[in-house]
């Protein structure tokens, strides 16, 4: 059976689901495909995968009508952020009040974000969620894309959106290469409980082996941790039993949260920087990790993907109003031009951070201490960093911009 769509999105993760919601209530007929069912957020424990969500992404979720679905489940504000170098002598402190905001960012479990977005897109009659489903073939032809499913259905689309993550099959089907840099690091994630409350403060420590972040969860004594370390060190940490892991974690983080009391089962992810040589081709657009991955230290990876999603939707809806072909490469190139510079800048910044903060040379270590202290003392510089990292500055798509009344 052949079914025609305007847009077929492959990948119903956080970014693919955002593209679908952003096209909700439009004249476009949209299908969303994923090979797995929507993950249900755990009721008692926390999802090990969490994201620090910028204020721009928060605005996007509000404008998509998905924020209430997240807030109803579990979200945690970050009101302050304390960053220290490994030696502990350089430090910088950010406070949301300094930029007149109630929060610098929000910590939300990935499954909560995804569940709220999928719940929202079910309310749009022009969006069809076909999850879970298997894809057996993807072909890009002159007049559109053809996606063959494992249940006898064939979907024809004017535009195929690849939102299928870092190992994107859509990107491969389109023959688009990526430039990648293996960071030879892994990120270990876990949920911990501590003796003292986190007071809605995110803490990050730049160790010589890689950055360690403590992200505040909604329980006052619970944090999610992301510990990025060189592969050998990460494998060693991962293999420790809970008591030995807690001991290492305590040594690395110090006493600011008192004694670390419990740690959940851990998961580890290899880290790489990657960037697709092109985000678009005729009848094709890549978004999120399918187009780029960054180091998790700045908490920006999926936030870049959310801005891709909002920008692509804006470009497609503009083209629809002007009766242009949404699969035409010149239409899609506007999306690519808009996002590529921003994403590349973030890849470079996080790569540079890794060099500066993951380097044991005495001169580099002195420089980073001075850098953090000087930045901490210079209020305009600090405010600029805060506004930029929170997504309040920059060339934002309309859906991520606040409407001032």
Ligand X SMILES: Cc1cc2nc3c(=O)[nH]c(=O)nc-3n(C[C@H](O)[C@H](O)[C@H](O)COP(=O)(O)OP(=O)(O)OC[C@H]3O[C@@H](n4cnc5c(N)ncnc54)[C@H](O)[C@@H]3O)c2cc1C
Residues forming beta bridges with residue 3, ordered by sequence position = 155
Q: Nearest distance from residue 193's CB to ligand X, in Å? A: 20
The nearer residue to ligand X, 282 or 296, going by C-beta atoms, is: 296
Q: DSSP string covering 309-343, please?
A: HHHHHHHHHHHHHTT--TT-HHHHHHHHHHHHHHH
> Is 301 among the residues that bind ligand X (CB under 6 A)?
yes
Q: Nearest distance from residue 28's CB to ligand X, in Å? A: 20
Q: Nearest distance from residue 322's CB to ligand X, in Å? A: 28
The nearer residue to ligand X, 34 or 47, going by C-beta atoms, is: 34
Q: Nearest distance from residue 310's CB to ligand X, in Å? A: 14
Q: Binding to ligand X (CB under 6 A): which residues in 137-196?
A: 163-165, 169, 187, 189
Residue among 320, 376, 332, 307 nearest 93 (CA):
376
Among 32, 135, 145, 260, binds ligand X (CB under 6 A): 135
Contact yes or no for 110/50 (Cβ under 8 A): yes
Coil, strand, or helix at residue 93?
strand
Among 303, 369, 375, 390, binds ligand X (CB under 6 A): 303
Q: Which residues, 6+ apart, have CB-to-CB distance to 288 below 8 Å?
A: 11, 13, 14, 15, 16, 163, 165, 302, 304, 305, 308, 309
Q: Binding to ligand X (CB under 6 A): which residues in 3-42?
A: 10-16, 33-36
Taking CB under 6 A as the rule, which mask of x and - marks residues 204-243 in contact with ligand X?
----------------------x-----------------
Among 52, 78, 159, 237, binds ligand X (CB under 6 A): 52
Where b means 16+ CB within 10 Å and e means fewer, 142-173 reads eebbbbebeeeeebebbbbbbbbbbebbbbeb
How many Å separate Cα 37 from the centre of its chain? 20
What span, in angstroms and rounded, lies between the C-alpha atoms of 84 and 402? 32
The nearer residue to ligand X, 64 or 369, going by C-beta atoms, is: 64
Taking CB under 6 A as the rule, which mask of x and - marks residues 90-119 in contact with ligand X?
------------------------------
DSSP at 101: -
| Six-digit token string for 342 | 């921003």
H helix or E strand, kind and range, residue 76: strand 76-78
The nearer residue to ligand X, 10 or 332, going by C-beta atoms, is: 10
Residues that bind ligand X (CB under 6 A): 10-16, 33-36, 51-52, 135, 163-165, 169, 187, 189, 226, 269, 288-289, 296, 299-303, 305
């Amino acid at each position: 059976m052949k079914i025609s769509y305007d847009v077929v999105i492959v990948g119903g993760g956080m970014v693919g689901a955002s593209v679908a919601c952003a096209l909700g209530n439009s004249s476009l007929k949209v299908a969303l495909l994923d090979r797995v069912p929507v993950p249900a957020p755990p009721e008692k424990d926390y999802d090990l995968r969490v994201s620090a969500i910028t204020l721009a992404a928060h605005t996007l979720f509000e404008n998509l009508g998905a924020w209430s679905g997240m807030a109803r489940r579990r979200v945690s504000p970050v009101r302050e952020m304390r960053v220290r170098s490994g030696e502990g002598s350089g430090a910088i402190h950010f406070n949301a009040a300094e930029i007149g905001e109630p929060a610098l960012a929000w910590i939300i479990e990935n499954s909560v974000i995804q569940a709220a977005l999928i719940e929202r897109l079910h309310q749009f009659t022009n969006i069809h969620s076909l999850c879970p489903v298997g894809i057996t073939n993807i072909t890009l032809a002159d007049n559109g894309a053809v996606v063959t499913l494992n249940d006898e259905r064939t979907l024809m689309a004017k535009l195929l959106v690849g939102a299928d993550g870092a190992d994107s099959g859509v990107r491969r089907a389109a023959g688009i290469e990526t430039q990648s840099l293996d960071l030879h690091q892994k990120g270990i994630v876990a949920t911990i409980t501590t003796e003292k409350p986190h007071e809605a403060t995110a803490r990050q420590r730049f160790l010589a082996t890689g950055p360690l972040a403590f992200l505040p969860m909604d329980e006052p004594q619970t944090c999610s941790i992301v510990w990025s370390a060189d592969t050998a060190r990460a494998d060693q940490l991962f293999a420790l039993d809970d008591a030995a892991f807690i001991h290492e974690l305590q040594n690395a983080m110090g006493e600011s949260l008192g004694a670390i009391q419990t740690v959940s089962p851990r998961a580890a992810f290899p880290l790489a920087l990657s960037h697709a040589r092109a985000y678009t081709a005729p009848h094709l657009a890549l978004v999120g990790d399918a187009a780029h991955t960054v180091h998790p230290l700045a908490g920006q990876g999926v936030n870049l993907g959310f801005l891709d999603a909002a920008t692509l939707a804006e470009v497609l809806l503009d083209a629809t109003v002007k009766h242009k072909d949404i699969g035409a490469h010149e239409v899609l190139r506007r999306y690519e031009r808009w996002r590529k510079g921003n994403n590349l800048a973030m890849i470079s910044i996080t790569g540079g951070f890794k060099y500066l903060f993951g380097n044991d040379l005495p001169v580099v270590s002195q420089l980073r201490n001075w850098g953090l202290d000087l930045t901490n003392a210079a209020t305009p510089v600090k405010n600029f960093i805060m506004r930029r990292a929170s997504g309040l500055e920059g060339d934002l798509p309309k859906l991520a911009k606040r409407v001032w009344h």
